[in-house]
Amino acid sequence: MLDPKEYNALDLAQPTDFTSMLRSGELLWGTSCRIPHEEAARVVATLPHQFCFLDAEHSPLNPTLLVSLIKAIQYTSNGSMVPYVRLAPNMPDLINYVLNAGAGGIVQPHVQNAAQAQQLVSYAKFPPLGARSYPPLALFGKQTRTKPGKTVYNIWNEHAAVFAQIEDIEGVENVEEIAAVPGIDALMVGTGDLRCSLGLEVGSQDGDEPRFLAALDKIQRAADKHGLAVLGFAMTPKILERRVKLGWRAFIVHSDGSAIFNSGVKSLEDNVRLVELAGVNDNKGEPEINGQSTKFNAVNSTH
C-alpha cells in the first residue's frame, strides 16, 4: 500500500503531494472525521488510512475549528494521513484557510460547469494558474524549506489537489469541459446527490438504473481522457467492487460516526447473545435490554 510519507514536503506545514499520490495508479484508502472536535481528529489520525475526509459542507465547522482539525490530522499522523477537505458552498474564503493550514486536497461540491471549475482553480492556485494570495504567516520561518529549484508556490500548486465534485445533472452534462480545466487535478463523485438530481431513490448510494450507470460511466470517461483520478464513497463491499471495476482510484471506506455506532451495536448484540447462549437469561427470541431489542441496522455515513 502506498505510503503518504514518501510524498511529504520537507515540512509538515506544507501539503503532502496528494496530486502525485492520485496519479500513481495505486488505490488510495480514506477515512472520514465527521465529529467536529479536535480530539476526534487526533484519534482518527492514528488509523492506517492514507487520507482523511473533513466535511465543511455538512458539518458545523467554523474556520478556526477546521484549521485545527487539518493540523491535528497532519501532525498527529506525522504526515502519514493526508487531510482532504470538502468546502462549504459559497464560502471561497475557506479555501485560503484550508490550504494555508496544510490540507493536501480540497473539493468544491456541486461543480456544474467549466466557469465554476475555473473560479475554483483561481482561488486555490497561485499564479500563473490562479490568483491565490500568498499567506504571510502560514510558513513563518519556513519559507525556504523546499527542494532545490522549488518555491513554496510550486509546492502548493503541485501538491495540493483540487477536486471538482460532480453530483448534478448539469455537472454530468458538462463533465468533459470541467475535467479539461487546467488546475483541476481530480474528480469526486457525489452519488447520493447525483441520484437525487436524477430523480432516483433518495438516500441510496448505488443502483442499477440505466441513467445512473450512464452518468457514472460518462464521468469516468471524462476523467480517463484527461488523466484525472476519481474519488468517492464506497462504504460497502458491493459498492467498492463496482467502483473499482468502473475505474475509481480513491475511496472513502470508513467514518468515525458510523464506526462508533456499528461497533457499539455489534458489541452489545454479541455480548447479550453470549449471555443468552450461556443460559444465564431465560428470555427467548431476539436479545433485549430494558425491553428493547438489540437488533439494529448498521449505518453508513456517506454523501
DSSP string, 98-146: HHHTT-SEEEES---SHHHHHHHHHHHS-TTT--PPP-TTTTTT-TT-S
- How high is the pLDDT of residue 140? 75
- Say if residues 12 and 82 touch (Cβ distance below 8 Å): no
pLDDT for the residue numbered 134? 87
**Please, which pLDDT band fits residue 286 given cuts at 50, 70 and 90?**
low
Measure Cα distances from 91 to 53, 56, 85, 177, 221 in Å: 18, 10, 13, 23, 30
Between these two residues, 46 and 282, which has the higher pLDDT value? 46
pLDDT of residue 290: 55
- The per-residue pLDDT of the chain, averaged, comes to 93
pLDDT digits (tens, 9 = 90+) for 197-245: 999 998 888 999 999 999 999 999 999 999 999 999 999 999 999 999 9
Residue 292 has a pLDDT of 59
pLDDT at position 90 is 83
Return the minimum-mean-pLDDT range out of 101-110, 143-152, 164-173, 245-254.
143-152
**Lowest-confidence segment of 119-128, 141-150, 223-232 by average pLDDT:** 141-150
Answer for the pair 71, 58: CB distance below 8 angstroms, yes or no.
no
- DSSP notation for 212-256: HHHHHHHHHHHHHHTT-EEEEE--SHHHHHHHHHHT--EEE---H
- Which pLDDT does position 225 carry in this prediction? 99
- Residue 141 clears pLDDT 90, i.e. is over it: no
Tell me how crowded residue 96 is: count the other CB atoms within 10 A of its CB. Answer: 16
Q: What is the pLDDT at residue 302?
A: 54
pTM above 0.95, yes or no: no
Q: How confident is the model at residue 186 (pLDDT cuts 50, 70, 90)?
A: very high
- pLDDT, one tens digit per residue, over 247-278 is 999 999 999 999 999 999 999 999 999 998 98
Which residues pair with residue 55 across a beta bridge?
86
- Nearest-CA neighbor of 70 among 103, 47, 30? 103
- List all residues 6 or more positions away from 231 whose beta carbon is below 8 Å from its beta carbon: 22, 28, 30, 107, 163, 186, 187, 188, 189, 248, 249, 250, 251, 252
